[in-house]
Structure 1
Amino acid sequence: MTTLEGASSLGAKETSVPGEDSLVDKAAISARLDRLPATRSVWKLIVLLSLGFFFELYDLLFTGYIAPGLVKAGILTATTHGLFGTSGVASFIASLFSGLFVGTIACGFLADRFGRRAIFTYSLLWYVAANTVMAFQDTATGLNFWRFVSGLGIGVELITIGTYMSELAPKHMRGRAFAVCQAIGFSAVPVVAFLSYLLVPKSFLGLDGWRWVVLIGGISAAFVWYLRRNLPESPRWLASKQRFAEADAVLSRLEAQVESQYGRPLPPPGPSEPIAIKGGFSDMWKAPYRKRTVMLIVFHIFQTVGFYGFANWVPTLLVKQGITVTSSLLYTTVIGLAAPLGPLLGYLIADRFERKHVIVCMAALNIVAGLLFSQTTSAVAIVMLGVCLTLAGNIISFTYHAYQQELYPTTIRARAVGFVYSWSRASAVFSSFIIAFMLKDFGVTGVFVFIAGAMMLVILAIGLMGPRTLGKSLEDISR
């Protein structure tokens, strides 16, 4: 089937048993998706998903920005007396990543089972509700518990959005789609940084400023429920469940919209390799996925140290260097303005350079900028190096989000990515305590030496083990 007319007959096979025809049908769905030009309708889907990612990152990244407020309120302490103390900022960060770990490793299968659209919506509502309750906690125990609960929902959402995005974006714009998604998502960084700068040092209507930062994110994110009605289910996922009539209906509507905007007939679908309908957890340990799984586990264990070691700790690190809470939040607000610029710069290279090469180069930049950051107290140098670290980290982030989704087939994509991604959450739990320990005993320099070592291992894992994916269909990469 290589024509629209032929592909539109997929519905006739909705009740067919798995076999050769089913394989051809699924391949036809993928080929039809991959030939779509980058019109307004395609970008609209990307933007809608990206708005969900914005609120997700707001909730994920306010951890570091409200930390000084939690310390000021006497709920948490900046450091801990023991390595795994439960009353410090490290325990708050660890609670979030513990929830993220459970959400990604234990619940990643939900999007494979129930669909991308439903899990995208309900996991967001879950963590919004949990964070609302957290905003009214007055003890470290209550704060940490509800941060763990919200982390469960955020973990599921992270996996679902990436999977959803990779399956809706045609192969020729997959990298750019992730770049735009991350640019919109990371716009949350300057927003939460600026709100924290305005609110955290103060109180309003009897509530500490940090509580308002949390509540504003939850109230704003609730409107994603309204956006859900404009998102279709992934045709690739529907086809993998042998719901070919539904997949064809969704794709036909999208094709009609795209063709009207394109102004001429759509190009015919190209060839696409048929892939199996069914898949399970054990498939990620078979060739060619076994090597990719090991690579991504190593990558995620150590990339988290570099990304969140800076993002979640920068206000606290600056305070440790003798800068006031208000000034540190002002500096981080300025640095945060660079967060969406990383993916926007990445947009220019997203579908021009191999993803693995981009990750390696940005990890090297992270090492150099981080070590220099640890040695300066100049406001200008702090901001400039902070911007470099932010740009490098965010380019790595959008690149690996696209990369890891490409390395597994549709039938196991969400659960496989959830499994490898969960190692970053486990790493963040322990690395937050290690960073607190390093900060206490070795200062800011010790923290960035630790981060540099982690990023060197990222370079080795991706550089030596990563496959090439540029310009290939998801099915071709899965061969």
Structure 2
Amino acid sequence: MASAQPVSQDLQPAIDITSTSHVDRIGDDGNISARLDRLPATRSVWKLIVLLSLGFFFEIYDLLFTGYIAPGLVRSGILTSTTAGLFGTSGVASFIAALFSGLFVGTIACGFLADRFGRRAIFTYALLWYVVANTAMLLQTTALGLNTWRFISGLGIGVELITIGTYMSELAPKHLRGRAFAICQAVGFSAVPVVAFLSYLLVPRTPLGIDGWRWVVLLGGSSALMIWWFRRNLPESPRWLASKGRLDEADAVLSQLEARVQKEYGEPLPVPGPAEPVVRKAGFSDMWKPPYRKRTVMLIIFHVFQTVGFFGFANWVPTLLVKQGITVTSSLLYTTVIGLAAPIGPLLGYRIADRFERKHVIVVMAGANVACGLIFSQVSNAAMVVALGVSLTLAGNIISFTYHTYQQELYPTAIRARAVGFVYSWSRLSAVFSSFVIAFILRDFGVTGVFCFIAGAMVIVMIVIGMMGPRTRGASLESISH
């Protein structure tokens, strides 16, 4: 573990959490949090983390099958690989844009649902929402019907992604939080090789006379119906219950968890630390006050451009390979092998998370993305395609793991959820428009043009994070976020 670093002036608090002009505080909330944070890493604690991670698996499966089934949608005649105009509604770009439009609306407009109705309920019903929407989508035969139901599916995914992150941060003790997110992303991104392999087997074929892409969608949705099992085994967040004044329920849920953990631990649990005051309320305007204003602007710019690099490759790689003269079957085989690297990125992040500054990890991995992407656009040899594809996947997923941790550190508890939801929603909006831009560039400038566009976006990521990002390594969450 690296030694603590002095906290720079950029990390000094802008909100006085002792001032009732800004916040309302309930002391008992802090007692619940202190009891949760002292829990050791036993089987019961890790079980909760793994259950949430399995929910994230289905999110990633659904999010990333977009690119893998795209050649099948083109092959079936529902969509075209490019469009005559920039914002055409009959191409692959419109399918990708429909998903990210739904994600944007779900992220920015519906994130309050988990705050109002609870983490457990929204975790369950958002998952059910997109299972139903995907079932309707796989029955469509027109671009309009396909895109409409993909948008509706995206609403559920957007809500679910916010809920899982919040749920995870509230259930995991503070000494496990970083590792918990690493495991969550590793489990989630293991969906990539699964969906890639299923697409390789099914998309070029028509099992039982049904287009293979429809089978890929159906298999993911039917598997996600395990939500009812998830719901039975997941407790409501004690922190959320306490924040709603339901302290007896919070105590009951936490007492049951403490009893299981103590039985597994084999000795008395550690004494809870002091109960720190918990910020109950804060206004949206607080994220626009120094020093948070600088961080908010930085993260908005970051999310607009990191999306181009991550989804520009993940959603388009099968189509890009086909455009390079590789057959649909071979392109899906290559992407299956490339997809095997997806869970490795977060596991590498697990090993390096506390050894290097998060901002430096993002900058270095973005540079690797630029170099590997430009070389990828010039090769067709199978070994080089796979090697560079694996490198791009590792770099992208390490960036993903790192920024999900980093952005949570940059705001105080009172505004963390709404601030992160706000800045993160810009990545969804970016993906809507960048998909059309990539389709336009692919038509007029080919694969090389696409990767030059991606490289330019990642250079901006390197500049904005490198110049504007505060250091956080070794500093406590409170000293960074207050």
Structure 1 length normalisation: TM-score?
0.92
Pick the aligned partner of 1:451 from 450, 454, 471. Answer: 454
Q: CA deviation at 1:20?
A: 11
3-state SS of paired residue (2:269): coil
In structure 2, the partner of 1:336 is: 339
In structure 2, the partner of 1:167 is: 170
- Counterpart of 1:385, as a letter, is L
Q: CA deviation at 1:21?
A: 11
Spell out the pairing of 1:223-238 with structure 2 (5 A cutoff). 223-238=226-241
3-state SS of paired residue (2:56): helix
The answer to whether the Cα contact below 8 Å between 2:318 and 2:328 also exists between their aligned partners in 1 is: yes
3-state SS of paired residue (1:77): coil
In structure 1, the partner of 2:400 is: 397
The answer to whether the Cα contact below 8 Å between 1:160 and 1:414 also exists between their aligned partners in 2 is: no
Pick the aligned partner of 2:429 from 412, 419, 426. Answer: 426
3-state SS of paired residue (1:170): coil
1:126 aligns with 2:148: no
Provide the C-alpha distance between the structure 1 equivalents of 2:357 and 2:259, rounded to a whole number of angstroms. Answer: 32
Pick the aligned partner of 1:326 from 319, 324, 329. Answer: 329
3-state SS of paired residue (2:47): helix
1:380 aligns with 2:413: no
1:460 aligns with 2:466: no
Deviation per residue, 1:370-417 (Å, 9 max, x gap): 111111111101000000000111111122222223333444443322
Spell out the pairing of 1:23-42 with structure 2 (5 A cutoff). 23-42=26-45
Pick the aligned partner of 1:208 from 211, 230, 246. Answer: 211
Provide the C-alpha distance between the structure 1 equivalents of 2:434 and 2:336, rounded to a whole number of angstroms. Answer: 24
Moved more, 160-169 or 93-102: 160-169
Provide the C-alpha distance between the structure 2 equivalents of 1:401 and 1:432, rounded to a whole number of angstroms. Answer: 23
In structure 1, the partner of 2:11 is: none
Provide the C-alpha distance between the structure 2 equivalents of 1:25 and 1:172, rounded to a whole number of angstroms. Answer: 21
The answer to whether the Cα contact below 8 Å between 2:24 and 2:281 also exists between their aligned partners in 1 is: no
Provide the C-alpha distance between the structure 2 equivalents of 1:285 and 1:145, rounded to a whole number of angstroms. Answer: 35
Pick the aligned partner of 1:316 from 315, 319, 343. Answer: 319
1:135 aligns with 2:138: yes
- Counterpart of 1:39, as a letter, is T
Q: CA deviation at 1:144?
A: 0.5
Pick the aligned partner of 1:45 from 48, 59, 68. Answer: 48
- Counterpart of 2:268, as a letter, is P
In structure 2, the partner of 1:97 is: 100
Pick the aligned partner of 1:80 from 80, 83, 91. Answer: 83
- Counterpart of 1:25, as a letter, is D
Pick the aligned partner of 1:407 from 401, 407, 410. Answer: 410
Structure 2 length normalisation: TM-score?
0.91
Q: Which consecutive residues of structure 1, in runs of 5 or more, have no partner in the other structure?
A: 1-16
3-state SS of paired residue (2:176): helix
Spell out the pairing of 1:169-188 with structure 2 (5 A cutoff). 169-188=172-191
Provide the C-alpha distance between the structure 2 equivalents of 1:192 and 1:329, rounded to a whole number of angstroms. Answer: 10
Deviation per residue, 1:417-470 (Å, 9 max, x gap): 221111001000010011111111111111111111111221222223333444
3-state SS of paired residue (1:294): helix
Provide the C-alpha distance between the structure 2 equivalents of 1:354 and 1:312, rounded to a whole number of angstroms. Answer: 29
Q: CA deviation at 1:58?
A: 0.6
Q: Give aligned pairs, total.
A: 463
Q: CA deviation at 1:122?
A: 0.8
- Counterpart of 1:348, as a letter, is R
Provide the C-alpha distance between the structure 1 equivalents of 2:240 and 2:476, rounded to a whole number of angstroms. Answer: 16
The answer to whether the Cα contact below 8 Å between 1:91 and 1:144 also exists between their aligned partners in 2 is: yes
Q: CA deviation at 1:294?
A: 1.7
1:69 aligns with 2:72: yes
The answer to whether the Cα contact below 8 Å between 2:373 and 2:455 also exists between their aligned partners in 1 is: yes
The answer to whether the Cα contact below 8 Å between 1:289 and 1:408 also exists between their aligned partners in 2 is: yes
In structure 2, the partner of 1:7 is: none
In structure 2, the partner of 1:11 is: none
- Counterpart of 2:253, as a letter, is V
Inter-CA distance 217–292: structure 2 relative to 1 (3 Å threshold): same
In structure 2, the partner of 1:250 is: 253
The answer to whether the Cα contact below 8 Å between 1:273 and 1:475 also exists between their aligned partners in 2 is: no
Inter-CA distance 327–28: structure 2 relative to 1 (3 Å threshold): same
Deviation per residue, 1:330-365 (Å, 9 max, x gap): 000000011111112222123443332322221121
Moved more, 38-47 or 349-358: 349-358
Spell out the pairing of 1:258-297 with structure 2 (5 A cutoff). 258-271=261-274, 273-297=276-300
Provide the C-alpha distance between the structure 2 equivalents of 1:473 and 1:257, rounded to a whole number of angstroms. Answer: 29
The answer to whether the Cα contact below 8 Å between 1:190 and 1:336 also exists between their aligned partners in 2 is: yes
RMSD: 2.1
The answer to whether the Cα contact below 8 Å between 1:303 and 1:458 also exists between their aligned partners in 2 is: yes
3-state SS of paired residue (1:93): helix
Inter-CA distance 21–304: structure 2 relative to 1 (3 Å threshold): closer
Inter-CA distance 31–320: structure 2 relative to 1 (3 Å threshold): same
The answer to whether the Cα contact below 8 Å between 1:99 and 1:151 also exists between their aligned partners in 2 is: yes
Deviation per residue, 1:146-195 (Å, 9 max, x gap): 00000000011111111111122222222211111011111111111011
Pick the aligned partner of 2:364 from 358, 361, 375. Answer: 361
1:417 aligns with 2:426: no
Pick the aligned partner of 1:57 from 57, 60, 64. Answer: 60
Q: CA deviation at 1:295?
A: 1.8
Inter-CA distance 283–86: structure 2 relative to 1 (3 Å threshold): same
Moved more, 314-323 or 343-352: 343-352
Provide the C-alpha distance between the structure 2 equivalents of 1:248 and 1:408, rounded to a whole number of angstroms. Answer: 27
